[in-house]
A and B are shown apart, each in its own frame.
Chain A
């Protein structure tokens, strides 16, 4: 158990819909990272927040957005969903801004039908 929690574990929704994925980092960790893992793209970095501020962006689509709240939990919002957005979404946390030692949650499996 990494100490990072993610909800929900599974999500099934239709194309065009909007969903919110939630992540609670390990106690004391200030950085939260979001990754997407699909069968054809592998594990890809989406975005990082540190203490409430966006700090790094990867290949995140404009339809996706994230935020980190004062209690440090984070949410990833996915809108206008497409079939290709079906994937595992992982959240990770680390104590520092420049953390290469990251602790991953169990993931949310999103299926878009």
Chain B
């Protein structure tokens, strides 16, 4: 799995867009970008994933640069409930060998949404 780099913490005002960056400069062509978040002491929650096109779902949007070396998770209208640790994970879809579905979580970005 490619290494990812995320800022340790970010702040955002409630109602504004939260833009969380992730660098993955060693990403290979068949690796996807996944985002998870973990609200304090709860189980991690899958948010979104993508390969090279921008993706949007009911939770967030994912923007991947054309060279795929970085991406941004966008929460369009952050609320206090979005305060969490956000993890960016790069992984081959359906990774084989002995790693299968093993997700490797880094330190992530602590997003704090302020009133």
Contact = CB atoms under 8 A, between A and B. Distances in A.
Interface in A12-40: 31, 33, 35
Interface size band for A:
20 to 34
Nearest to B34: A100
B6 to A, nearest CB: 13
A56 B103 contact: no
B44 A56 contact: no
A55 B94 CA distance: 13
8 closest cross-chain pairs (CB), A and B: A104-B43, A98-B94, A43-B105, A56-B100, A45-B102, A99-B101, A104-B44, A90-B43
Contacts, number: 76
Interface in A81-109: 88, 90, 92, 94, 96-107, 109
Interface of A: 2, 4, 31, 33, 35, 42-45, 48, 50, 55-58, 88, 90, 92, 94, 96-107, 109
A87 B42 CA distance: 13
Interface residues of B, number: 26
23 contacts: A31-B100, A33-B101, A33-B103, A42-B107, A43-B38, A43-B105, A45-B104, A48-B100, A48-B101, A55-B100, A56-B101, A88-B41, A90-B44, A92-B43, A92-B44, A98-B93, A98-B96, A100-B32, A100-B34, A100-B101, A100-B103, A101-B46, A106-B43
B93 A43 contact: no
Nearest to A50: B100
